Every structure is written in structure tokens, then in C-alpha cells.
Structure 1
Amino acid sequence: MRALETCLYADDLSAAEAFYGGVLGLELHSKVPGRHLFYRLEGSMLLIFDPAKSDQPGDVPSHAGKPGGHVCLAIPRSETDAWEQKLRAAGLDVTRYAWKDRGESLYFHDPAGNVLELAPASIWGL
């Protein structure tokens, strides 16, 4: 089994779209203005919902939540330094954490306050 979707919440979808598309370079799959953004990843989807709008009744159950989630996106181990430089150049406060000999994670926040992590799959022995 693997994760097919990961969901985070953002009160300002315009800021989220600028961040996820512009800073991280993710491919926007689809969006409903004011409600959600869907990004295509490698083999899965990242969903960003406005918590107030996604709590409304619809065809699927409510996706109510609030900012403060966490997601780790996999990057090749060899790209850690380049990603750190790119994130810092975008004005982000980045914390680098070493997992002994398994690789290093980069931790930072999106505009909504969600904690994001970029790390190689080797931190989990994958």
C-alpha cells in the first residue's frame, strides 16, 4: 500500500498556489478557485484545501481542517544542497537535520504554517 493523496490546509489559496507552484515547482493538476488546489506528484497527489470552503456540503464528504499539517516530499539525496539554496533564496527559514548515515531533511513552513520537509527516501530505509 502507498499514500495516494496527502492533504494540507491553507486559508490563502493564492499564496499557496504561488508557493507550491512557484517556489517548489509542483505541477498544478486542477483547482476550484477559493476551495482547493490539486498538485500532481510522482505517483500521488497533494491536495491543498481552504478549510472554511471545504467544510461546505458537496458531492464528497467534508474536507474540513486547519493549517498546521506536515508533509515530506522525496528528493534525491544529491539535490539536498541545491534545494536548501533555492528555499533560502526564496526567503524561507530552513532547518537542516541529519539522520545519521541515512540522509538529511530540510524543514520549512509554507505560507499557511504547514511544516514541509524535503528528504531522500533513504531516511526511512527506502
Structure 2
Amino acid sequence: MRALETCLYVDDLDRAETFYSEVLGLSLFGKVAGRHLFYRLDGSMLLIFHPEASAQPGDVPPHAGKPGGHACLAIPGEETDGWQARLEGHGLRVTRYAWGNRGESLYFHDPAGNVLELAPASIWGLTLET
């Protein structure tokens, strides 16, 4: 079993779309204005919801959260320096943390205050299928 979806909540979907599409370079899979953004990752989905809109009854059970969540996106370890430069080039404050000999994580915030992390799967002793 593995995670299929990761869900974060944001108060400003337009600002989130700019951040996730332009800063992180993710490809938008689908969206409903005022409700959600869906991004396809390698083998999973990143779902970004507006908390009030997703709490309304609809085709799927209502759910809601608050900005301030956490998601870690896997990157190859050799891309850590490049990602740090890219993020800092967009004015983000990046915290780098070393997990012994397993790799390093980059921590930063999205515009809604969610804590994002970029790290190789090796920090958990995992490998990713390619």
C-alpha cells in the first residue's frame, strides 16, 4: 500500500496555483474555481482545497482542514542544491536539514503557510520506482 493522494488546504487558490505551477513547476491536472486544484505527481496526486468550499456537501463527503499542513515531495538527492537555489531565487526562506548519510531535506512554506519539504526517498530508507 502507498499514499495515492496528499491534501493541503489554502485560503487563496489563485496564489496557490501561481506558487505550485510556477515556483515548483508542477503541471495542473484539474481545477474547480474557488474549490480546488489538482496536481499529478509521479505516481500520486497533490490535492489543494479551499477549506470552506471543500466542507460543503457534494458528490464526495465534505472535508476541511486549515492551512498549516505538511507535505514532502520526493526529489533525487543530486537535485537538492539546484532546488535550493531555485526556491531562494523566488524569495523563499529555505531550511536545509541533513538526515545523517540518508540525504538532506529542504523545508519552506507555501503562501498559505503549509510546510513543504523536498527530499530524496532515501531519508526513509526507500527507493522510488521510475
TM-score range, shorter chain: over 0.9
1:56 aligns with 2:56: yes
In structure 1, the partner of 2:21 is 21
1:41 aligns with 2:41: yes
- Higher normalized helix content (fraction of residues): 2
Q: Deviations over 1:2-53 (max 9, x none)?
A: 1000000000000100000000001100000000000000000000000011
- Please give the TM-score of this superposition, normalised by the length of structure 2: 0.96
1:105 aligns with 2:105: yes
- The residue matched to 2:53 in structure 1 has which SS? coil
**Which 10-residue stretch deviates more, 114-123 or 54-63?**
54-63
Aligned residue pairs: how many? 126
In structure 1, the partner of 2:66 is 66
Q: Deviations over 1:79-110 (max 9, x none)?
A: 00000000000000000000010000000000
Structure 2 residues not aligned, in runs of 5+: none
- Please give the TM-score of this superposition, normalised by the length of structure 1: 0.99
Distance, in Å, in 1 between the alignment partners of 2:70 and 2:14 is: 20
Distance, in Å, in 2 between the alignment partners of 1:63 and 1:85 is: 36
- The residue matched to 1:65 in structure 2 has which SS? coil
Structure 1 residues not aligned, in runs of 5+: none
CA deviation after TM superposition for structure 1 residue 63, in Å: 2.1
C-alpha RMSD over aligned residues: 0.4
Amino acid at match of 2:32: V
- The residue matched to 1:52 in structure 2 has which SS? helix
Which of structure 1's runs of 4+ aligned residues deviate more than 6 A? none
What fraction of aligned residue pairs are identical, expressed as a percent?
77
